């Protein structure tokens, strides 16, 4: 029941965000934060840092840094990091790849193989290429694609509530 309420709140907040003409980077940042709530990592109970790496979108990086950096995530603490190379993605729990660096996806994918990293992208066809979640605009509305196979191969568990809101690949 709690998850259903959270799902409803997420959808309602997204509709409000679109109704108020929020900048796209703020919407992506809020959705990224909400996606994290519906994903389970194998080392989630351990303390330390929960690193969210951003490449290719300065506005998303700045928004995430301002809103979430240093805040708690269970026994961990959010660290928002600007990625300058694909290799740095291997040190992250989440990687957001903006449209400006979509051409780096294959290199990032190679550097995180076998690691529990949630990839969230904003580029055409990246869910089919192995991104966990990819933003997509359909009929003027922001949607997201989800590659369930990638979640499994990255040793991540995704809730059915999030899956039910996605375009499944």
Mean pLDDT of 75-79: 96
Quick one: what percent of the chain has pLDDT higher than 70? 88
Domain count, the chain: 1
What distances in angstroms separate CA 55 from CA 42, 90, 139, one per listed residue? 24, 13, 27
Q: How far apart are the first and last CA of the chain?
A: 27
pLDDT for 19 beyond 70? no
Q: Checking DSSP bridges between strand 76-82 and strand 48-55, what pairing results, if any?
A: parallel
Is residue 165 within 8 A of residue 145, CB to CB? The reply is no
- CB distance 169 to 144 below 8 Å: no
Question: Which CATH number belongs to the domain containing residue 23 in this structure?
Answer: 3.40.50
Mean per-residue pLDDT, 79-100: 97
**Does residue 153 have a pLDDT over 70?**
yes
pLDDT at residue 39 tops 60: yes
Instruction: Give me the domain span that covers residue 14.
Output: 2-168
């Amino acid at each position: 029941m709690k998850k259903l309420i959270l799902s409803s709140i997420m959808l309602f907040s997204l509709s409000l965000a679109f109704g108020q003409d929020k900048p796209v980077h703020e919407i992506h940042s809020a959705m990224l934060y909400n996606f994290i709530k519906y994903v389970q990592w194998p080392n989630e109970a351990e303390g330390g840092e929960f690193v969210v790496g951003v490449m290719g979108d300065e506005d998303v990086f700045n928004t995430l840094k301002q809103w979430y950096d240093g805040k708690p995530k269970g026994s961990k603490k959010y660290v928002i990091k600007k990625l300058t190379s694909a290799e740095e993605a291997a040190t992250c729990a989440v990687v957001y790849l903006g449209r400006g660096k979509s051409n780096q996806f294959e290199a990032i994918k190679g550097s995180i193989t076998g690691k529990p990293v949630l990839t969230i992208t904003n580029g055409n066809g990246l869910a089919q290429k192995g991104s966990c979640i990819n933003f997509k605009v359909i009929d003027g509305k922001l949607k997201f694609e989800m590659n369930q196979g990638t979640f499994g191969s990255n040793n991540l568990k995704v809730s059915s509530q999030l899956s039910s809101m996605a375009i499944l690949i």
